[in-house]
């Protein structure tokens, strides 16, 4: 049945009336008017704490947003996803990344298959394999222990495990160095191969079909490099696969006993919980990988059961939609105040923008409103000395998600207090800003002349009223990171449901792949360029001439 565009809903119309007042609110005033604002606008779940009080919302706003979610049937659609309905309608697939981190006792059948049994059979194999590598039972072709692991993948087969391995650096297994190669640009593989020894290196080739162009080009390059030292009979000791293509894996030279499968109902950007997470288990140990899964499952349980008004993913999803569709804010920046979360903004770029960067609903009709904001970010303290200037005084208002850990994973004195002070101060500064009169008072205290003061006032005034969320964890542990990732997965789902888009396909990605295959044949001279515009033909000609 065709569903209406979100802006046709009665609850959406009420929010449009409400925002006419909200646009004039100053968050300073909202805090003054409501001493209970902070406790009223905080949520705890799965070891995470959310403060969303520094947004341009009040209790009425939240109530109206929840009305919109209910009119859209958010809770019923959430339940349908967890039940294994074919939520990805364009590919006729269920969406069950949540089943990857559920306990063995889960009872869920998909097309006659016991999902929990299948999932835990693979997890058990991952656990056994990880133990063999760490214990030294798995040896390279010259009898030496594995010291380096190179994951070859792209997209979700790279961003997820790379981000998590860095995020859980403090839990890393001694004696194991992790490397990730995704870029078809040979400089990526070249730099990695110069750091490793073929006698002690294990390659993980991560491609569900074992045909992904970028991954297989890199895998075959690694294979050729290895064969300059070892022999084909040695390949099974140095290459394993995360794939479902048994014949392709066998033809490559990998023992199919060392092929770890996953399923069509696992989307690439939601796959770090599956065998795609094998590098994580190898990097931090299987017990820590299991804790990572458990943290995500705890957030799943919260998302499934918590009332909407105290449901962390729902609240964040609704606040994000309010900022995007009612306040007209087209961008979102992620500011982790933890160095080990350096790759988290890049991970979220794929998760959120590949999922909800759509303009048509699941039935093919126009969404009718703007969808996914442009997402970007960096480590918070680095951002403060770079693009935070634009966030404070630029023409565009850009919401910020601050993420911080209350406890450090190191014992260096002074650093954690300085880090948290910066994080909390920035959030306050974005909310409060600084008025012209406050600037004048500061400058008078510095004994500046009236002329100098008035010259400086416009430059040192901050409008404030810039929205932000603050997400805190006690410490960056495997469980906390699992919960954090699952939180953003569910935020993405919430917003996709509200906009009516399919958050689980990515046809825009597929178009570029098809065109690249054609152009690659033209660059190598297999076929002559044709059916392109003059610009593309001209670029191909220049590239061919450069050879």
- % helix, strand, coil for the chain, step of 5: 55, 10, 35
Overall average pLDDT of the 524-545 stretch? 84
Q: Edge to edge, what strands does the sheet with 201-206 contain?
A: 177-181, 148-152, 201-206, 239-242, 259-260
- The yes-or-no verdict on residue 64 having pLDDT over 70 is yes
User: 418-425, long-range: CB within 8 Å, 24+ apart, which pairs?
Assistant: 419/337, 419/381, 420/337, 422/337, 422/380, 422/381, 422/384, 423/335, 423/337, 423/380, 423/470, 424/470
Q: Edge to edge, what strands does the sheet with 468-473 contain?
A: 42-45, 48-51, 468-473, 400-405, 331-337, 374-377
pLDDT for res 1:
60
Taking the C-alpha atoms of residue 119 and residue 101, their distance in angstroms, rounded to an integer, is 9
3-state secondary structure 123-165: HHHHHHHHHHHHHCCCECCCCCECCEEEEECCCHHHHHHHHHH
Q: How many CB atoms lie within 10 A of CB 264?
A: 15
Under DSSP, is residue 239 helix (H, G, I), strand (E, B) or coil?
strand
pLDDT for res 515:
81
Taking the C-alpha atoms of residue 92 and residue 269, their distance in angstroms, rounded to an integer, is 18
Overall average pLDDT of the 146-161 stretch? 97
Taking the C-alpha atoms of residue 315 and residue 491, their distance in angstroms, rounded to an integer, is 8
pLDDT for res 203:
98
Overall average pLDDT of the 515-535 stretch? 81
Alpha-carbon distances, residue 472 vs 48, 171, 340 (angstroms): 6, 20, 15
Stretch among 21-25, 61-65, 118-122, 509-513 having the lowest mean pLDDT: 509-513
Q: Return the H-helix or E-strand segment holding 109.
A: strand 109-110
Alpha-carbon distances, residue 240 vs 163, 258, 278, 347 (angstroms): 21, 5, 10, 24
Paired with 205 in beta bridges are 152, 241
pLDDT class for 529, splitting at 50, 70, 90? Answer: low
pLDDT for res 524:
84
Overall average pLDDT of the 56-68 stretch? 98
Least Cα distance to 278 among 298, 258, 295, 300 occurs for 258
Least Cα distance to 260 among 276, 282, 284 occurs for 276
Per-residue pLDDT tens for 452-476?
A: 999 999 999 999 999 999 999 999 9
Active-site positions read 354, 385, 513
- The yes-or-no verdict on residue 28 having pLDDT over 80 is yes
pLDDT for res 288:
98
């Amino acid at each position: 049945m065709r569903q209406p565009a979100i802006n046709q809903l009665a609850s959406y119309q009420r929010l449009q009336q409400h925002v006419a007042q909200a646009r004039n609110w100053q968050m300073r005033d909202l805090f003054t008017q409501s001493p209970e604002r902070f406790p009223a606008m905080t949520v705890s779940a799965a070891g995470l704490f959310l403060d969303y009080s520094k947004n341009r919302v009040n209790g009425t706003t939240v109530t109206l947003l929840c009305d919109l979610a209910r009119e859209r049937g958010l809770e019923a659609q959430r339940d349908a996803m967890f039940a294994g309905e074919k939520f990805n309608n364009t590919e006729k697939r269920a969406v069950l990344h949540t089943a990857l981190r559920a306990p063995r006792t889960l009872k869920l059948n998909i097309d006659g298959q016991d999902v929990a049994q299948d999932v835990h059979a693979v997890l058990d194999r991952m656990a056994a394999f990880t133990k063999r590598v760490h214990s030294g039972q798995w040896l390279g072709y010259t009898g030496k222990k594995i010291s380096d692991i190179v994951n070859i993948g792209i997209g979700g087969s790279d961003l997820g495990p790379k981000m998590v391995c860095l995020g859980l650096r403090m839990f890393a297994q001694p004696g194991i160095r992790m490397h990730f190669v995704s870029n078809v640009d040979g400089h990526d593989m070249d730099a990695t191969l110069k750091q490793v020894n073929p006698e002690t290196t294990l390659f993980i080739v991560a491609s569900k079909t074992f045909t992904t162009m970028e991954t297989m080009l890199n895998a075959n390059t690694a294979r050729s490099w290895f064969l300059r030292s070892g022999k084909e009979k040695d390949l099974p000791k140095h290459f394993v696969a995360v794939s479902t293509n048994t014949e392709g894996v066998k033809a490559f030279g990998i023992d199919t006993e060392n092929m770890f499968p996953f399923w069509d109902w696992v989307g690439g950007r939601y796959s770090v919980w599956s065998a795609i997470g094998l590098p994580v288990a190898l990097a931090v140990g299987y017990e820590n990988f299991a804790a990572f899964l458990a943290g995500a499952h705890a957030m799943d349980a919260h998302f499934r059961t918590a009332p909407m008004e105290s449901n962390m993913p729902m609240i964040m999803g609704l606040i994000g939609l309010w900022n995007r569709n009612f306040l007209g804010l087209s961008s979102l920046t992620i500011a982790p105040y933890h160095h080990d979360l350096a790759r988290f903004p890049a991970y979220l770029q794929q998760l959120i923008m590949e999922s909800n960067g759509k303009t048509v609903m699941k039935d093919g009709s126009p969404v009718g409103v703007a969808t996914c904001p442009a997402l970007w970010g960096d480590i918070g303290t680095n951002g403060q000395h770079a693009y935070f200037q634009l966030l404070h005084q630029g023409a565009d208002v850009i919401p910020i998600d601050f993420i911080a850990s209350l406890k450090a994973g190191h014992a260096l004195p002074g650093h954690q207090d300085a880090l948290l002070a910066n994080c909390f101060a920035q959030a306050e500064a974005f909310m409060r800003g600084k008025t012209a009169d406050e600037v004048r008072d500061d400058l008078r205290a510095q004994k500046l002349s009236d002329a100098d003061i008035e010259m400086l006032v416009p430059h040192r005034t901050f409008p404030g009223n810039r929205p932000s969320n603050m997400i805190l964890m006690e410490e960056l542990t495997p469980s906390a990171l699992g919960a954090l990732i699952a939180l953003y997965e569910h935020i993405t789902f919430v917003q996709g449901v509200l906009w009516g888009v399919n958050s689980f396909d990515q046809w825009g990605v597929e178009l570029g792949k098809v065109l690249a295959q054609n152009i690659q044949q033209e660059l190598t001279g297999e076929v002559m360029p044709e059916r392109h515009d003059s610009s593309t033909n001209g670029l191909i000609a220049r590239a061919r001439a450069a050879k």
